[in-house]
Structure 1
């Protein structure tokens, strides 16, 4: 087998990344006691389907609440640069509004916390999709340079966004 065939084979049979917080499938419905999201037919949502019997549902902590409790983010967004220092409130509003839109459609995509580390702002999320969407929202609104690093064997995304004046 030549090098080309070997490289194609490696791409073809790449293993899936492992997410220890991925919820196991189970029969029936469930409600998260912390956030009131509803599990039905393999998905966590905010609204229960019309024919779902909620009073018989079991209580199961959703993967997002488990990540928040354990402080184990799937996505980390690091913002830096002089532009951040001068436009901090606008950027935080953009981040919060983007989270509201994403969370309305996807119950498991939430911000865990926003922390300051020197001049940087670090935003941790429960899912990689929210971290990616935040990075793209910052690029669309304020330009800057973004770098997206996906974990090789973990369900993790690290996004770095930087803009100097």
Structure 2
């Protein structure tokens, strides 16, 4: 005996379509090559942003990092606080800036947006979640202390708290 289906099929959880992560600052389409950012001079070449000499006849488009900086919309927040910070402020900020310099040399989209003093420490905002994580890990590696991560997948946002 054959069974007839009336348009209903059982739900298979292993075949559900995963929603793509929505990132406003990612290009919706492939940029023409070469494209240069008019603000920072980064060049989009071979499918990624790089530090190259500006090619002749290049298209212009703002890179995602400059776009975030313009909109004041960070992807990463690093909070540094505690009594250790008050005594070693300059060392810790120097470490954060060195981490940015190291990361930005190879990845132009990894930048510190702002360093803002707070009552009990400092808040460093970044254009990239990986840079925020790298700054937190560098501080933890150099000075130990407590390191916490809070990742919001829906907003592609990372909050890092380092305290000692």
TM-score with structure 1 setting the length: 0.85
Runs of 4 or more above 3 Å deviation: 12-16
Question: Which residues of structure 2 form unaligned runs of 5+?
Answer: 1-12
In structure 2, C-alpha distance between the alignment counterparts of 1:76 and 1:156, rounded to whole Å: 8
- The correspondence of residues 2-81 of structure 1 with structure 2, limited to 5 A, is 14-24=18-28, 25-47=30-52, 54-81=55-82
Shift of 1:23: 2.4
Residues 98, 134 of structure 1: 8 Å contact kept: yes
| 1:16–1:153 Cα contact (<8 Å) kept | no
Larger radius of gyration: 2
Q: Which has the higher helix share?
A: 1
CA RMSD of aligned residues (A): 1.7
Separation in structure 2 between the aligned mates of residue 60 and residue 126 of structure 1, nearest angstrom: 17
Q: Which runs of 5+ in 1 are unaligned?
A: 1-8
* CA 17–55 in structure 1, closer or farther in 2 if over 3 Å, else same: same
Name the residue aligned to 2:3: none
